[in-house]
């Protein structure tokens, strides 16, 4: 299931969340063959850990009052990706939750 596609590609295989970036590694040494050029890189994270991060990040966005704006931004960018379907279905409820926290 893909969440984002393009220069940053995030998808799940059901066991792991995969993060891939076309624009290169995060402060890692460039491979010799590609010295001076952006090098695509990726990593897989156990989905259980990714889920725990996701709820912590949602809590931060909620506390900062930024959750509704991020929901709208995600829907605008990633609608149509299978991973965005749950957000499309739950966006109204999440926005209501955010408005009660203000």
| Separation of alpha carbons 43 and 45, rounded Å | 7
The average pLDDT across 11-20 equals 93
Domain boundaries, position 34:
2-101
pLDDT digits (tens, 9 = 90+) for 62-96: 999 999 999 999 999 999 888 899 999 999 999 88
The predicted structure's pLDDT at residue 31 = 53
Q: What is the pTM of this model?
A: 0.77
Helix (H) or strand (E) holding 5: none
3-state class (DSSP) for residue 67: helix
Identify which of 45, 22, 44, 46 has the alpha carbon closest to the alpha carbon of residue 34: 22
The predicted structure's pLDDT at residue 14 = 93
Q: How many domains does the chain have?
A: 1
| Separation of alpha carbons 6 and 23, rounded Å | 10
42 pLDDT band (50/70/90 cuts)? confident
Pull the structure tokens for residue 101: 């926290």
Q: Given a cut of 80, is residue 102 above it in pLDDT?
A: no
């Amino acid at each position: 299931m893909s969440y984002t596609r393009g220069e940053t590609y995030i998808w799940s295989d059901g066991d792991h969340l995969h993060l891939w970036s076309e624009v290169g590694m995060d402060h890692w040494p460039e491979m010799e063959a590609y010295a001076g050029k952006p090098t695509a890189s990726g990593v897989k994270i156990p989905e259980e850990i990714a889920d725990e991060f996701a709820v912590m990040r949602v809590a931060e966005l909620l506390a900062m009052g930024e959750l509704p704006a991020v929901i709208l931004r995600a829907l605008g960018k990633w609608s149509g990706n299978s991973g965005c379907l749950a957000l499309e279905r739950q966006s109204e409820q999440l926005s209501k939750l955010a408005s009660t926290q203000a």
